[in-house]
Amino acid sequence: MVGEIATPRDDVEALSCGEALIHLLEQYGVSTVFGIPGVHTLEAYRGLTHSSIRHVLCRHEQGARFAADGWGRVSRAPGVCLVISGPGVTNVLTPVGQAYHDSKPLLVISGAVSADSHGHGPIHDLPDQRALTAELTAFSHRIEDPKELPEVLARAFEVFECGRPRPVHIAVPVDVLPQVTTRLWRIESDRTKPQADGAAVSEAADLLAHARTPVILLGGGAVDAGPDALRVAERIGAAIGLTINGKGAIPSSHPLCLGAALSFRPVSDLIRSADVVVAVGTEFSELDWWGLDRPLALQGRLIRIDIDVAQLDTPHPADVELHGDSAQVLAALADRLADAGSRDSSAAEARVAAALDATQWPTDLTDHRPLLDVLEHALPADRIVTADSTQPAYAANHMLPVECPRSWMMPVGYGTLGCALPMAIGAKLAAPERPVACLVGDGGILFTLQELATARDLGLALPLIVWNNDGYGEISDSMLRDGIEPIGTDAAAHDLVAIARGFGCEAATTRSMDEASSLITTALGRDRPTLIEVRS
């Protein structure tokens, strides 16, 4: 028999731990939670039914976590995911690993088995759930008493807001969630972002004021620092290069923008020969310099700006270290440089134009230019594009223009498959007024294809462009280049259009770029997703 549904009032002080948890999340401004309910998280869902927080039901915990990641990347707030213990936790580990690799603020709240039953064969048990998640998070904490919640959440949001963002995992055991507690309140933190040393800022400003061929590099940690970077660049005449995770920090159309072409010889030569390089929010990942025919050896002085002090001297030790938030430090540099006056940027613009004009794109990238041209012209300038590990996305990393920050989401470093569709769902929920499209391969889409049902339930106008080469084309090509007979690379979905229609979505297949463009334009006006299969 169904029990009576209670409706707590705001003036009721006695809450379950699960209800108190949701009440605390509201105080931190959490508006959306992604997840799948289970018997180990029922009390948290009791709290959700009476809260202002929107719950987004996904079809797999991996999809829920990727969607939370997409939501967070666009909203600039931590994505939040609610899952059961055991399989719920192990299912989110891949997207948690991606968020850790890309330094994204994500909060995983999970159930946990009770201490009394742990190790005795209860449902959803793990040998050590906290230790398992600790390797991929800033910290993982198991709540043993509801009174711990305010302090643990305060610690989590300090990680998200005051340092290098990382995922955080909080587990609440099944016997703790229903415990009665008083209404809990947020602990106000007095922690702030680190402030760069004033003397070091002055030293860096002096170097830049006298630089002849300076270059600024913006990484994923500087994606919101573009306006301040441009203030510095325009005062000293500096070219600006972007990592793949930094795409959009400044518009691709800006005459000082080198784009995300760091691994191509003319651009890397320009950076190598700079007399001063300012590297902001980047760890100099090998993936941003992939394929260079010689190691990156900077000839000039190096200024590094990073919120993570450990990044200031690896792998390229800095001549001047500035430990702080990217935007704040660049703003301070721009203010210090104001007294020196603005330098004519025409010489820097000429260097940028020459480097880009001399860049010869390899055929494995240019083969996909027709599809990238379709995306560029069929989608408005304020578009958001999420991408998976697929050949057109590899080309788009370097060749697709991006005009706005937080608009290109290709988690190139972790390189997982399956992230593009759920990340697009999260991105569209975070910015419903902006056009969002998803670029994925036919192999990758099968990892999270079930999230089409989530997007359909939400009524999202989401073009899902699937590059179909009947399997893992990039791996097959790699095997052939190495003289290996391809094996395990034929992974056709057989009839993606029929599958998508079975989920209640619109779907079509084409080999024509003109038709693909028309299909994308139409998809943006629908009340449901549209799968557009582009045959290679």
Reply yes or no on whether the pLDDT at 4 is more than 70. Answer: no
The two tokens of residue 167 are 């995922």
The number of residues in the chain equals 536
* 46-66 pLDDT per residue, tens: 999 989 999 999 999 999 999
Mean pLDDT of 410-430: 94
* 242-279 pLDDT per residue, tens: 999 999 999 999 999 999 999 999 999 999 999 999 99
Residue that is written with structure tokens 């760069």 in the block: 196
Residue 125 has what pLDDT?
Answer: 82
Those residues whose C-beta lies under 8 Å from the C-beta of residue 42, and which sit 6 or more positions away, are 18, 177
Mean pLDDT of 502-530: 97
Q: Helices (H), strands (E): how many in the chain? A: 20, 20
Reply yes or no on whether the pLDDT at 126 is more than 90. Answer: no
Q: How far apart, in whole angstroms, are the C-alpha atoms of residue 329 and residue 335?
A: 10
Q: How far apart, in whole angstroms, are the C-alpha atoms of residue 259 and residue 403?
A: 11
What are the helix (H) ranges across 163-306? 198-209, 226-236, 265-272
Cβ-contact 467, 536 below 8 angstroms: yes
Q: With cut-offs at 50, 70 and 90, classify the pLDDT of residue 10.
A: low
Q: Report the run of H or E that residue 159 belongs to, with start and end.
A: helix 149-162
Cβ-contact 449, 499 below 8 angstroms: yes
Reply yes or no on whether the pLDDT at 296 is more than 90. Answer: no
pLDDT > 90 in the chain, percent: 85
Listing from the earlier edge strand, what are the strands of the sheet with 506-510?
Answer: 408-409, 384-387, 436-441, 463-468, 530-535, 506-510
Q: How far apart, in whole angstroms, are the C-alpha atoms of residue 425 and residue 291?
A: 33
Look up residue 10 and give its amino acid. D
Mean pLDDT of 351-367: 96
Q: How far apart, in whole angstroms, are the C-alpha atoms of residue 43 and residue 20?
A: 9
Closest CA to 388 of 433, 431, 451: 451
Q: How far apart, in whole angstroms, are the C-alpha atoms of residue 13 and residue 11?
A: 6
Residue 351 has what pLDDT?
Answer: 97
Residue 12 has what pLDDT?
Answer: 64
Residue 79 has what pLDDT?
Answer: 98
Cβ-contact 407, 248 below 8 angstroms: yes
With vertex at residue 221, the alpha carbon angle to CA 220 and CA 227, rounded to the nearest 5 degrees, is 95
Cis previous bond, 317, omega within 30:
no
Q: 534 — phi, psi (to 5°)? A: -105, 115
Least confident of 167-176, 427-436, 451-460, 470-479: 470-479
Listing from the earlier edge strand, what are the strands of the sheet with 276-280?
Answer: 257-259, 239-242, 215-218, 276-280, 301-306, 320-323
Q: With cut-offs at 50, 70 and 90, classify the pLDDT of residue 474.
A: confident
* 68-110 pLDDT per residue, tens: 999 999 999 999 999 999 999 999 999 999 999 999 999 999 9
Q: With cut-offs at 50, 70 and 90, classify the pLDDT of residue 376.
A: very high
Mean pLDDT of 332-337: 96
Q: 497 — phi, psi (to 5°)? A: -65, -45
Give the per-residue SS3 of 330-392: HHHHHHHHHHHCCCCCHHHHHHHHHHHHHCCCCHHHHCCHHHHHHHHHHCCCCCEEEECCCHH
Q: 278 — phi, psi (to 5°)? A: -110, 110
Average pLDDT, the chain: 94
Reply yes or no on whether the pLDDT at 168 is more than 80. Answer: yes
Reply yes or no on whether the pLDDT at 455 is more than 90. Answer: yes
Mean pLDDT of 497-503: 97
Reported pTM:
0.94
Q: Structural domains in the chain?
A: 14-182 (3.40.50.970), 198-358 (3.40.50.1220), 363-535 (3.40.50.970)
Cβ-contact 464, 533 below 8 angstroms: no
- Strand boundaries in 87-129, DSSP class E: 106-112
Identify the residue with better confidence: 114 or 353: 353
Reply yes or no on whether the pLDDT at 3 is more than 70. Answer: no
Cβ-contact 269, 294 below 8 angstroms: no
Residue 411 has what pLDDT?
Answer: 86
Q: Is 262 helix (H, G, I), strand (E, B) or coil?
A: coil
- The alpha carbon dihedral of 317, 318, 323, 329 has a sign of negative
Highest mean pLDDT among 320-324, 413-417, 493-497 belongs to 320-324
Residue 183 has what pLDDT?
Answer: 87
Mean pLDDT of 525-530: 98
Those residues whose C-beta lies under 8 Å from the C-beta of residue 498, and which sit 6 or more positions away, are 507
Q: Is 107 helix (H, G, I), strand (E, B) or coil?
A: strand
Mean pLDDT of 4-27: 79
Residue 294 has what pLDDT?
Answer: 67
Burial class (CB in 10 A: 0-12, 13-18, 19+), 352: buried
How far does CA 518 lie from the centroid of its chain? Answer: 29
